[in-house]
């Protein structure tokens, strides 16, 4: 494996699963490796499953204390094997900014969880991307980490320009959140969670 590929795979910090059950409870179900309680609580708020009045945002990303988080949330169809779950979110944390890359990867993880109903297959794919930079997608070939150039992610838009009008101060630390509004991806500040100061 080339040095650039090794460096690229070492950017991911963790993966997590949040579920909303048929009783309306939102639970942090699983993660690898473990995460702090502070980050876990922040991600539970940012996934937009905890408030009934909020819109469901399919993809949200942001930064908290120099850790980027990427959250893909989907509604569970009635035909799924996840009978007691109405919605779930896959959370990836990473050191780098690359929304397109992590949106694609979390969509693959979502499809795996919908199909198998267990985080085991998700974990296998996460470890494959973490160690080799590639995982096989059951529907459309494979996910190649090196196909997503970080420089193109920065060229897609000005994060600072988008966030500064909404920035404020929060005692929990610097963070901000953006949500995908269309395909191809364009970004706008997410109003589903408290937006605080920008940390670049």
Measuring CA to CA, which residue among 53, 36, 32 is closest to residue 123?
32
Banded pLDDT at 177 (limits 50, 70, 90): low
Is there a domain that residue 166 lies in? no
The yes-or-no verdict on residue 85 having pLDDT over 70 is yes
The yes-or-no verdict on residue 30 having pLDDT over 80 is yes
pLDDT of residue 56: 82
Q: Whole-prediction pTM value? A: 0.76
Is there a domain that residue 164 lies in? no
Q: pLDDT tens-digit profile of 107-127?
A: 999 999 999 999 999 999 999
Of 157 and 153, the structure prediction assigns the larger pLDDT to 153
Is there a domain that residue 85 lies in? yes
Measuring CA to CA, which residue among 175, 156, 169 is closest to residue 93?
175
Q: pLDDT tens-digit profile of 57-82?
A: 899 999 999 999 999 999 999 888 99
Quickly tell me which residue has 């959140």 as its tokens.
177
pLDDT of residue 153: 75
Is there a domain that residue 69 lies in? yes
Is there a domain that residue 184 lies in? no
Domain count, the chain: 1
Is there a domain that residue 148 lies in? yes
State which residues form the domain around 93: 12-156
**In the numeric block, which tokens belong to residue 113?**
């969880």
Is there a domain that residue 181 lies in? no
The yes-or-no verdict on residue 28 having pLDDT over 70 is yes
CATH number of the CATH domain containing 19: 3.30.450
Is there a domain that residue 3 lies in? no
């Amino acid at each position: 494996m080339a040095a650039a590929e090794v460096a690229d795979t070492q950017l991911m910090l963790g993966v997590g699963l949040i579920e909303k059950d048929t009783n309306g409870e939102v639970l942090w179900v699983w993660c690898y490796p473990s995460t702090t309680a502070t980050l876990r609580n922040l991600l539970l708020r940012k996934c937009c499953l905890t408030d009934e009045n909020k819109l469901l945002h399919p993809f949200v990303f942001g930064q908290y204390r120099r850790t980027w988080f990427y959250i893909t949330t989907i509604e569970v169809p009635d035909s799924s094997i996840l009978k007691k779950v109405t919605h779930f979110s896959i959370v990836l944390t990473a050191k780098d900014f690359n929304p397109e890359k992590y949106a694609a990867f979390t969509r693959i993880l979502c499809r795996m969880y919908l199909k198998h109903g267990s985080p085991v297959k998700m974990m296998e794919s996460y470890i494959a991307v973490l160690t080799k930079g590639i995982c096989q997608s059951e529907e459309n070939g494979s996910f190649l980490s090196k196909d997503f150039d970080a420089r193109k992610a920065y060229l897609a838009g000005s994060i600072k320009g988008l966030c500064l009008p909404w920035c404020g101060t929060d005692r929990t630390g610097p963070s901000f959140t953006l949500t995908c509004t269309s395909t191809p991806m364009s970004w706008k500040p997410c109003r589903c969670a408290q937006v605080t100061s920008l940390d670049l």
